[in-house]
A = this chain, B = another copy of it.
């Protein structure tokens, strides 16, 4: 176990360094040598844990995506009432984007860039299923508008990425009150009107 533990620590340090450097400099300006230095490791050691640079960034993406969805669904129970479940998930996602914003920024960069392999991208999407299931149920119950999942995501969830990004750029800070406003906008854009 001691041996395995050490390996995991090193792998995590490499993933962490990748996130930080890609966030600050972009993929195009983060050489393996810098990643190694930041993780306190020799460049050659990276290749004991990852096949090559592409594999490192793919695996980092999948790791962070999994962390994101675990965080989002941590307290969620598929039997909850629709609105309650949605609010819980939405607020967990908002928390993630604000508290773990290094990780959220990394995902935003990956999602708009050809820097991740298509295969890893697909892998990352899978974990979102509970939210899609909730929407499906909501549509059947007549609580959620009968729109494509993509449109629902675009209006209910994706705006948080934009807000996180502008906040990170310093032009604007998202306080408690803003967050409640944003939640109301999100919910009202997907709920069935009475």
A contact set with B: CB distance below 8 Å: 23-29, 108-109, 111-115, 145, 147-148, 150-151, 153-155, 158-160, 162-163, 165-166, 171-172, 178, 181-182, 185-186, 188-190
Quick check: B111 and A151 within 8 Å, CB to CB? no
Quick check: B114 and A111 within 8 Å, CB to CB? no
**Chain B proximity of A167: nearest CB distance (Å):** 8
Minimal Cβ-Cβ distance residue in B for A116:
B26
- What's the Cα separation between A115 and B171 when bound, in Å? 18
Q: Given A112-B109, A165-B112, are A151 and B27 also a contact pair (CB < 8 Å)?
A: no
Q: Given A26-B27, A112-B113, A189-B189, are A155 and B150 also a contact pair (CB < 8 Å)?
A: no
Q: Given A25-B114, A28-B28, A28-B115, are A166 and B150 also a contact pair (CB < 8 Å)?
A: yes
| Set B153, B155, B181: member contacting A147, Cβ < 8 A | B181
Given contacts A23-B114, A151-B182, A153-B162, 12 further A-B contacts (CB under 8 A): A26-B113, A112-B113, A147-B181, A147-B185, A148-B178, A150-B162, A150-B163, A154-B163, A154-B166, A155-B189, A158-B159, A189-B189
19 contacts between A and B (CB under 8 A): A26-B113, A28-B28, A109-B113, A112-B112, A147-B181, A148-B172, A151-B181, A153-B162, A154-B159, A154-B160, A154-B182, A155-B159, A155-B186, A158-B159, A158-B162, A185-B189, A185-B190, A186-B189, A188-B188
